[in-house]
Amino acid sequence: MANETSNKIVVIGAGNVGETICYTLMLRAQVGEIVLVDLNEDRAKGAALDISHGTAYYSQVRVRQGGYEECADAKIIIVTAGVPRKPGQTRLELAKVNTGVARSIAKNIMKYAKNPLIIVVSNPVDVNTYLIQKETGLPKERVIGTGTSLDTARFRYLLGERVKVDIRDIQGYILGEHGDTQVPIWSSVNVAGETIDHFLPADEKEKEQVKEQIAMKAKTGGADVISLKGATFDGIAMSTFRIVESILKNQNTVLPVAHVLGQEYGESLEGSCISIPCVVNEEGIAKTIKITMTDEERQQVEHSAEVLKAFIGDVMKED
């Protein structure tokens, strides 16, 4: 693996999400340089300067503003630029605004970078991940969407609150779309190896009600934060850092992230861009993990993929 101090990360978009990701990387990632790229150069310069002032107390990473030419030798490029989601607006509605931004960014990246590894954060992340992969022509394993990594984090947080157990001892995933059709895979949720059902009410009706409540809170978590503070950026910054860390340290971590699927999950999901458990390392997505699902869960994941496929098809027709 390359020397950690020689790694450079480029963050495209210096809004709340981009700046918070940059700050989180400065605190926790062992990199030599972080470059913020934004059409609003003053915003990027100001964010870089503000973060740089705190480096005396942490790692000696260089944080600065730059242009797309910085992508030429970047270890990782993180795309956060786009119009933020408004209260009550779905991620799919937001796509009509942000897909053009994503394509423009992809073209600018490829003017300088030969085989970049791109992490897509900007919403709707599944649609943007698909479009950026197609626009760049990069191998599908090198364009990674944060996908349901944050939804899964919210899910595990809620489960931990419910059963009063350390989140690190809870395993479980939300897969599919990062949005309205996401699917909690209850059949694989466990607490230290013990099925989650042992920690929920014995009465089946009550148990299902608890599951529905937790799943709904996980789904609406982003909207809840937006309604309270206007935007979400802390949680996604930490989710993004976890992906970056696995890449930089070649950890082979299993994470629920989005990429354009091949035949890993069969013809029904081929060509879709949804989140499934993937092994992430320094090359990007090394492989996918076929976790066990019930027939109903599998059908729900396939439905999620179909919804996204149909929407992407409509977007492509409008061009």
Catalytic residues, by residue number, are 178
37-53 burial, b if ≥16 CB within 10 A, otherwise e? Answer: bbeeeebbbebbeebee
Straight-line distance from the first to the last Cα atom of the chain, in angstroms, rounded to the nearest whole number: 41
Q: Is 180 helix (H, G, I), strand (E, B) or coil?
A: coil
Q: Annotated binding residue at 17?
A: yes
The runs of H, that is alpha helices, within 90-202 are: 91-110, 125-136, 149-163
Nearest CA-CA partner of 74 in 27, 12, 149: 12
CB atoms within 10 A of CB 282: 17
176 is in an annotated binding site: no
Question: Among all chains, which residue has been given the structure tokens 């299993």?
Answer: 254
Q: Is 62 annotated as a binding residue?
A: no
Give me the amino acid identity at 56: A
Residue 23 among known ligand-binding residues: no
d(CA 72, CA 24): 23
The two structure tokens encoding residue 151: 């939804």
126 known member of a binding site: yes
Determine whether the annotation assigns residue 98 to a binding site: yes
Binding residue per annotation — 15?
A: yes
Residue 115 is assigned to a ligand binding site: no
142 in a known ligand binding site: no
User: Residue 19 CB: number of other CB atoms within 10 A?
Assistant: 24
18 annotated as a binding-site residue: yes
Find out whether 100 is annotated in a ligand binding site.
Answer: no
Residue 310, φ and ψ in degrees, nearest 5: -65, -40
- Number of helical H runs and strand E runs in the chain: 8, 14
**CA-to-CA distance for 209 and 62, rounded, in angstroms?**
50
Please state, in angstroms and rounded to a whole number, the distance separating the CA atoms of residues 13 and 105.
10
Is 260 marked as binding a ligand?
A: no
In the numeric block, the tokens 């970049």 are attached to 116
| Position 229, amino acid | K
166 is in an annotated binding site: no
Tell me: is residue 43 an annotated ligand-binding position: yes
Residue ranges for the binding site?
Answer: 13-18, 38, 43, 68, 82-83, 85, 91, 98, 104, 121-126, 146, 151-154, 232
Binding residues for substrate, as ranges, are 85, 91, 123-126, 151-154, 232
Annotated binding site for NAD(+): 13-18, 38, 43, 68, 82-83, 98, 104, 121-123, 146
